């Protein structure tokens, strides 16, 4: 459009100037033509009437002369006629003869081309001819009405304007079409040039010879841009849903993204009043869902809801979000044995405790691993089935799919596979106890890019590969090369969308404060600290309760004036360790509450049930503080959600030093969850912190979560993938795809 305007505006200006200059010229020319016609006409009339007029003049018969003139002027063009026989002042003339023309003036015009007069009644043409037979001084003046010439001139001007406008439109249309065609041709040529596609014949030599001289320069430019890309990405870009869309559209040419995770973002559940949709309590889903809304594409996940099968089409697809579809879920069905062996067994009784230092022993069963392998294969086949092309972008999520990257790589060698490990990566000694460590590491090294939340986890992974596998580990570039194929290991701290969708429609903070206090039955000025977790032993819920108990010992004034509200979503109930943990959490809450029978309000309120995100955000907004006490956590997004929820810039975050989030949020009160005294002191500090200090801390944390949001997390991975794809295209054909040149 802008391009077209660039052509059109000068063109239209030129045409307007041409029209402006031409119209007066045409006007003058038309008058000249009509004047000349009237001269000829005047000669004709004069020659014809010479005889009768001279006779009438000589006989002096004025009455007959008047009648004769009357007949002459019945011609509609001949406006007036007059004669001068002598040099008298006034000519003998018809009634309309112009007053300003006396005989002396007429004499100056004798036998000359007609003169133009513009009296108030309109343009007149005056031609004067001598009447020699009536005497040497006799003359005949013929006055023609020339207003018809003016009318013609006006009509001609109108036609000219219409003509120029039509001409402009036609010329503009042709110009725009030609400009667009040639622009597209150039753009296509340049794009092909940049991609290196269609430029070189297999046998060498250029397919598009005109572009050959600039091919080298353009490639150099691409390399220079790539070199500048990384710093711009990290430090300067403002990431929003739109930026992420632009990255996909621009850098990845709008390729569809395929996401793979175990947990699905929308679960259809059958209840007493029909089917309803549930959002799972999952950090992974919280982070990825807005990304998928921005990118569209397909999300492959286990269909675990009781009504999931009833809500898919015949290809097992369902469009989501249900009220405003932006992408689709492809559901994978698992048998109860598969679910139990792959999900509960190997993933959650084996890898989960292996990677988290939470002092729960991992359990490894070969039958579980067999199911894990089988389910990974099932998902790999679904990736191939969902892929529209041979080089899709596949985002594999988490510890449920360590074998999947290698499986996809075998079936789609040109795929760009980004694997993100959402949980911590242990040190090599801890990982070494896994009987299938080699298979797992080899599977993960099928990825093009492998992401962790923190540099510490990246380093642990490189150490583990170095100790376990035959592979070249380059610690400077963070690249592992296995069988000649590289995997880039990078840190991508995950985050949440900004602003979170769940904030929409939330009541103001004072209203949220009133409402959550009324719900748990405490007064309006009662202090509330909140904890939001799955009922998982890594979350440190028991340690949190112990800290509450310790606070009431150290600072008894808080008994009855403060309540800790724990929202704990039931999770992984088929695993013994989780069932035990849930029982222990309930027992400890009960024990602490019964220890303070005289306190008016209980120290702990435990809500061990699923809460939708609207309800969670209301608690986060209405509380005085939020306590995240994970014993070990990849990132922990509840900490970031609390910050995002507090647009009033109040509230205090108490955060475990063992959650990845503590690396990014030093303004929180950072605690060791195993140290009950320290945690109790942090609770006391949080409950008594002045508003100014709360605001100062919260502002800094909000700025960080706003800038380092989930679009940046996904965008940086996708930009790295785009750079990798570009390099692969430019690399000589002898190099394997995915090869990354050291920066």
Residue numbers at the binding site for ligand F6P (CB under 6 A)? 262-263, 282-284, 398, 422-423, 571-572, 634
Nearest-approach distance from CB 306 to ligand F6P, in angstroms? 16
DSSP 8-state secondary structure symbol assigned to residue 239 = P
Bridge partners for 328 per DSSP: 298, 319
Among all chains, which residue has been given the structure tokens 């194929």?
485
When CB distances to ligand F6P are compared, the closest residue is: 284
Choose between 572 and 621: whose C-beta lies nearer to ligand F6P.
572
Nearest-approach distance from CB 718 to ligand F6P, in angstroms? 19
Bridge partners for 179 per DSSP: none
Choose between 78 and 616: whose C-beta lies nearer to ligand F6P.
616
Q: Cα–Cα distance between 296 and 287 in angstroms, integer?
A: 15
Among all chains, which residue has been given the structure tokens 């977790």?
533
Choose between 282 and 447: whose C-beta lies nearer to ligand F6P.
282
Choose between 198 and 570: whose C-beta lies nearer to ligand F6P.
570
Bridge partners for 496 per DSSP: none
Nearest-approach distance from CB 494 to ligand F6P, in angstroms? 9
Residue 354 corresponds to which tokens in the numbers above? 């292996």
Choose between 320 and 724: whose C-beta lies nearer to ligand F6P.
320
Nearest-approach distance from CB 398 to ligand F6P, in angstroms? 5
Contact 133, 53 (CB under 8 A): no
Q: Tell me how crowded residue 47 is: count the other CB atoms within 10 A of its CB.
A: 10
Residue 349 corresponds to which tokens in the numbers above? 């009784």
Choose between 572 and 712: whose C-beta lies nearer to ligand F6P.
572
Locate the DSSP E strands across 428-561: 449-452, 472-474, 479-482, 485-491, 527-534
Contact 288, 312 (CB under 8 A): no
Q: Cα–Cα distance between 504 and 521 in angstroms, integer?
A: 26
Q: Tell me how crowded residue 85 is: count the other CB atoms within 10 A of its CB.
A: 18
Nearest residue to 444 via CA among 469, 414, 412, 426: 469
Nearest-approach distance from CB 492 to ligand F6P, in angstroms? 14
Nearest-approach distance from CB 485 to ligand F6P, in angstroms? 27
Q: Cα–Cα distance between 730 and 721 in angstroms, integer?
A: 14
DSSP 8-state secondary structure symbol assigned to residue 597 = T
Choose between 293 and 727: whose C-beta lies nearer to ligand F6P.
293
Choose between 69 and 537: whose C-beta lies nearer to ligand F6P.
537
Nearest-approach distance from CB 267 to ligand F6P, in angstroms? 11
Contact 93, 69 (CB under 8 A): yes
From residue 268, how far is each of 264, 278, 283, 303, 332 by CA, in Å? 10, 6, 19, 9, 14
Q: Cα–Cα distance between 612 and 591 in angstroms, integer?
A: 28
Choose between 42 and 347: whose C-beta lies nearer to ligand F6P.
347
Contact 279, 290 (CB under 8 A): no
Collapsing DSSP states into helix, strand and coil, what is residue 567? strand
Q: Cα–Cα distance between 448 and 722 in angstroms, integer?
A: 11
Choose between 127 and 355: whose C-beta lies nearer to ligand F6P.
355
What b/e sequence results for 574-591 when a residue is b if at least 16 CB atoms lie within 10 Å of its CB, and e otherwise? Answer: ebebbeebbeebeebbee
From residue 720, how far is each of 106, 251, 293, 490 by CA, in Å? 95, 10, 20, 10
Nearest-approach distance from CB 352 to ligand F6P, in angstroms? 8
Contact 670, 653 (CB under 8 A): no
Nearest-approach distance from CB 588 to ligand F6P, in angstroms? 23
Nearest-approach distance from CB 453 to ligand F6P, in angstroms? 10
Angle at 107 between CA 101 and CA 113, to 5 degrees: 90
Choose between 255 and 538: whose C-beta lies nearer to ligand F6P.
538
Nearest-approach distance from CB 349 to ligand F6P, in angstroms? 12
Choose between 148 and 333: whose C-beta lies nearer to ligand F6P.
333
Choose between 279 and 702: whose C-beta lies nearer to ligand F6P.
279
Nearest-approach distance from CB 283 to ligand F6P, in angstroms? 3
Enumerate the H helices of 572-709 as residue ranges.
Answer: 576-595, 613-622, 637-645, 676-688, 691-707
Nearest-approach distance from CB 261 to ligand F6P, in angstroms? 8
Choose between 283 and 353: whose C-beta lies nearer to ligand F6P.
283
Q: Given the DSSP bridges, would you call strands 257-260 and 393-397 parallel, antiparallel or unpaired?
A: parallel
Nearest residue to 516 via CA among 609, 608, 605: 605
Asked if the peptide bond before residue 409 counts as cis, ω within 30 degrees of 0, the response is no
Choose between 473 and 631: whose C-beta lies nearer to ligand F6P.
631
Nearest-approach distance from CB 576 to ligand F6P, in angstroms? 15
Q: Tell me how crowded residue 653 is: count the other CB atoms within 10 A of its CB.
A: 25
Q: Cα–Cα distance between 222 and 216 in angstroms, integer?
A: 10
Choose between 262 and 563: whose C-beta lies nearer to ligand F6P.
262
Nearest-approach distance from CB 571 to ligand F6P, in angstroms? 5
Q: Given the DSSP bridges, would you call strands 562-569 and 604-607 parallel, antiparallel or unpaired?
A: parallel
Rounded-to-10 torsion of CA 204, 210, 215, 221: -170
Nearest-approach distance from CB 632 to ligand F6P, in angstroms? 11
Residue 623 corresponds to which tokens in the numbers above? 């509380």
Nearest-approach distance from CB 463 to ligand F6P, in angstroms? 22
Choose between 144 and 302: whose C-beta lies nearer to ligand F6P.
302
Nearest-approach distance from CB 387 to ligand F6P, in angstroms? 24
List of residues 6+ apart from 733 with CB closer than 8 A: none
Q: How many CA atoms are closer than 13 Å to the CA of 625, on its beta-carbon side?
A: 29
Choose between 288 and 665: whose C-beta lies nearer to ligand F6P.
288
Helix (H) or strand (E) holding 30: helix 2-59
């Amino acid at each position: 459009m802008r391009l077209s305007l660039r052509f059109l505006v000068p063109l239209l200006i030129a045409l307007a100037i041409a029209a402006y200059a031409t119209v007066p010229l045409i006007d003058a020319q038309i008058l000249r033509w009509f004047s000349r016609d009237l001269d000829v006409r005047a000669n004709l009339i004069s020659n014809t009437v010479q005889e009768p007029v001279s006779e009438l003049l000589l006989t002096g018969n004025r009455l007959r002369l008047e009648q004769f003139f009357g007949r002459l002027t019945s011609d509609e063009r001949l406006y007036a006629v007059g004669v001068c026989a002598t040099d008298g002042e006034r000519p003998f003339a018809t009634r309309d003869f112009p007053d300003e023309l006396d005989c002396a003036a007429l004499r100056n015009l004798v036998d000359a081309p007609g003169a133009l007069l513009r009296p108030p009644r309109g343009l007149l043409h005056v031609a004067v001819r001598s009447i020699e037979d009536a005497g040497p001084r006799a003359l005949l003046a013929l006055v023609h009405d020339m207003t018809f010439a003016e009318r013609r001139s006006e009509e001609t001007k109108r036609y000219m304007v219409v003509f120029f406008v039509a001409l402009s439109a036609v010329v503009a249309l042709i110009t725009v079409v030609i400009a667009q065609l040639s622009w597209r041709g150039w753009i296509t040529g340049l794009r092909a040039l940049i991609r290196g596609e269609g430029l070189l014949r297999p046998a060498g030599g250029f397919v598009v010879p005109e572009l050959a001289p600039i091919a080298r320069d353009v490639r150099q430019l691409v390399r220079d841009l790539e070199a500048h890309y990384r710093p711009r990405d990290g430090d300067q870009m403002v990431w929003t849903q739109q930026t992420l869309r632009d990255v996909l559209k621009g850098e990845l040419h709008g390729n569809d993204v395929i996401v793979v995770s175990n947990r699905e973002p929308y679960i259809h559940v059958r209840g007493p009043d029909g089917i309803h949709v549930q959002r799972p309590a999952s950090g992974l889903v919280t982070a990825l869902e807005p990304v998928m809304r921005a990118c569209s594409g397909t999300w492959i996940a286990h269909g675990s809801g009781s009504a999931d099968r009833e809500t898919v089409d015949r290809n097992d697809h369902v469009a989501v979000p249900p009220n405003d579809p932006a992408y689709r879920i492809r559901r994978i069905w698992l048998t109860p044995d598969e679910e139990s062996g792959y999900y509960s067994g190997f993933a959650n009784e084996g890898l989960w405790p292996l990677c988290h230092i939470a002092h729960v022993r991992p359990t490894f069963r070969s039958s579980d691993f067999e199911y894990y392998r089988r389910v990974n294969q099932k998902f790999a086949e679904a990736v191939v089935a969902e892929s529209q092309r041979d080089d899709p972008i596949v985002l594999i999520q988490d510890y449920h799919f360590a074998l999947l990257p290698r499986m996809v790589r075998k079936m789609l060698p040109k795929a760009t596979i980004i694997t993100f490990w959402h949980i911590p990566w242990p040190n090599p000694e801890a990982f070494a106890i896994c009987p299938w460590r080699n298979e797992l590491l080899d599977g993960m090294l099928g990825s093009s890019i492998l992401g962790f939340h923190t540099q510490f986890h990246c380093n642990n992974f490189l150490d583990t590969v170095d100790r376990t596998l035959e592979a070249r580990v380059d610690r400077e570039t963070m690249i592992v090369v296995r069988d000649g194929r590289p995997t880039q290991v990078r840190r991508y701290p995950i985050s949440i969308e900004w602003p979170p969708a769940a904030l929409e429609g939330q009541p103001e903070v004072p209203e949220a404060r009133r409402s959550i206090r009324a719900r748990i039955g405490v007064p309006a000025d009662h202090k509330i600290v909140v904890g939001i977790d799955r009922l998982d032993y890594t979350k440190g819920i028991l340690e949190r309760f112990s800290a509450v108990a310790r606070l009431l010992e150290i600072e008894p004034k808080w008994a009855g004036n403060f309540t800790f509200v724990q929202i704990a979503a039931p999770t992984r109930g088929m695993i013994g360790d989780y069932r035990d943990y849930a029982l222990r959490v309930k027992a400890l809450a009960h024990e602490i509450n019964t220890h303070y029978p005289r306190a008016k309000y209980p120290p702990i309120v435990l809500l061990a049930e699923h809460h939708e995100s609207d309800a969670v955000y209301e608690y986060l907004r209405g509380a005085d503080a939020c306590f995240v006490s994970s014993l070990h956590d990849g990132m922990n997004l509840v900490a970031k959600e609390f910050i995002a929820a507090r647009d009033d810039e109040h509230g205090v975050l108490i955060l475990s030093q063992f959650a990845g989030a503590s690396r990014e949020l030093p303004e929180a009160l950072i605690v060791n969850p195993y140290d009950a005294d320290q945690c109790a002191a942090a609770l006391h500090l949080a409950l008594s912190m002045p508003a100014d200090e709360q605001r100062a801390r919260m502002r800094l944390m909000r700025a960080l979560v706003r800038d380092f949001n989930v679009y940046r997390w996904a965008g940086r991975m996708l930009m790295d993938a785009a750079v990798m794809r570009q390099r692969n295209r430019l690399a000589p054909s002898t190099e394997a795809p995915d090869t990354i040149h050291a920066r």
